[in-house]
Amino acid sequence: MRSVLRLSFSLAKTNFKLRNEGSYLGILWYILSPLLLFLILLFVKQEAFSVKNIPYYPIYLLSGLLLFNLFTQIIGSSIVAISSNAGFIKSIKIPMEALVVSKAIQFLFSHVFEIFLLGLCMFYIGLPLVGLLLYVPVLILFILFLLGLSFIVSTIGVYISDLNNVWTVFSQLLFFVTPIFYVPQMGNLIYQVNEYNPLYFYMRLAREVLIGGQGVSFNNFIFAGLSSFVVLFAGIFIFAKNKYRFAEHL
């Protein structure tokens, strides 16, 4: 367990450093890329949509965008976490869990930068920063959920390499189906689909604590916690059941 975490941190640190290594703006890109996307969407919304007013729209949009980013980065990289390390796995015995866990840690690192950006925006708009404090437990539950899902998709990714292609399309679909830059109309199809969208569930929870509005519902918190742990343990179980077969399939 300790050696898994140690290796995970080490790999996460390495990949974090390497991601923007050699670029002129370096580490600044961790803030720049979400910021630019945020500004584009903000501009498009103002120019193209005439949806009714959403209170604190910039925070609504930014929080949705950041959680969506975290989701797609972690899951997308987990799908190939095992299958892209074939040579490594066959050449030296390492705890393979670390390859998956390191992805979650790596993107959690970069998410911390994005939270600064979020805090800055909240301060500028005049929202109480207490929301950020309440955001921490939501983030922890979300990460545990993602970790569980990562274990599942990395296992499937070993056997079915098509998953990576499916994912590219699916993540695009997810971007439009999940209410990131709009509010779903009660009763329509999008609304109904999102009743079963776990990403939207955590997103709603995050917005509740960040923007406040109708206050935080305790029940949602309990439900989020429960589903996080169920998915996490399911993921760990599936991964552990299959990991001894990974090497020969790579």
Should residue 214 be labelled a site residue for other proteins when binding is judged by CB under 8 A?
no
Q: How far is the CB of 93 from other proteins (least distance, A)?
A: 5
Site residue total, other proteins (CB under 8 A): 23
**Residue of 1, 48, 93, 196 that binds other proteins (CB under 8 A):** 93
Query: Using CB under 8 A, which of the segments 13-21, 74-82, 124-132, 202-210 binds other proteins?
Result: 13-21
Should residue 169 be labelled a site residue for other proteins when binding is judged by CB under 8 A?
no
Buried residues in 61-89 as b, exposed as e (16+ CB within 10 A): bbbbbbbbbbbbbbbbbbbbbbbebeeeb
- Nearest CA to 62 out of 161, 207, 223, 178 is that of 207
Alpha carbon distance 143, 140 (integer Å): 5
- Nearest CA to 78 out of 155, 143, 1 is that of 155
**Residue of 136, 185, 191, 245 that binds other proteins (CB under 8 A):** 245
**Residue of 14, 23, 46, 185 that binds other proteins (CB under 8 A):** 14
**Residue of 86, 94, 134, 236 that binds other proteins (CB under 8 A):** 94
Query: Using CB under 8 A, which of the segments 42-50, 65-73, 75-83, 91-99 binds other proteins?
Result: 91-99
| Residue 21, φ and ψ in degrees, nearest 5 | -65, 135
**Residue of 50, 53, 91, 219 that binds other proteins (CB under 8 A):** 91
**Residue of 24, 196, 218, 244 that binds other proteins (CB under 8 A):** 244
| Contact in structure between 90 and 237 (CB atoms under 8 Å) | no
**Residue of 88, 124, 223, 233 that binds other proteins (CB under 8 A):** 88
Restricted to residues 106-165, the positions that interact with other proteins (CB under 8 A) are 161-162
**Residue of 24, 48, 50, 92 that binds other proteins (CB under 8 A):** 92
| Contact in structure between 78 and 154 (CB atoms under 8 Å) | yes
| Nearer of residues 160 and 193 to other proteins, judged by Cβ | 160
Sign of CA pseudo-dihedral 47, 35, 163, 174: negative
The residue whose two tokens read 């979650």 is 104
Q: Is 160 left (phi over 0), alpha (psi -120 to 50) or beta?
A: beta
| Nearer of residues 18 and 28 to other proteins, judged by Cβ | 18
For residue 21, give the 3-state DSSP assignment.
Answer: coil
Should residue 241 be labelled a site residue for other proteins when binding is judged by CB under 8 A?
no
Query: How many Cβ atoms from other residues are within 10 Å of residue 41's Cβ?
Result: 17
Should residue 18 be labelled a site residue for other proteins when binding is judged by CB under 8 A?
yes
- Nearest CA to 199 out of 228, 222, 226 is that of 228
| Contact in structure between 115 and 34 (CB atoms under 8 Å) | no
Should residue 21 be labelled a site residue for other proteins when binding is judged by CB under 8 A?
yes
**Residue of 46, 49, 90, 176 that binds other proteins (CB under 8 A):** 90
What would the two tokens of residue 203 be? 């997103």
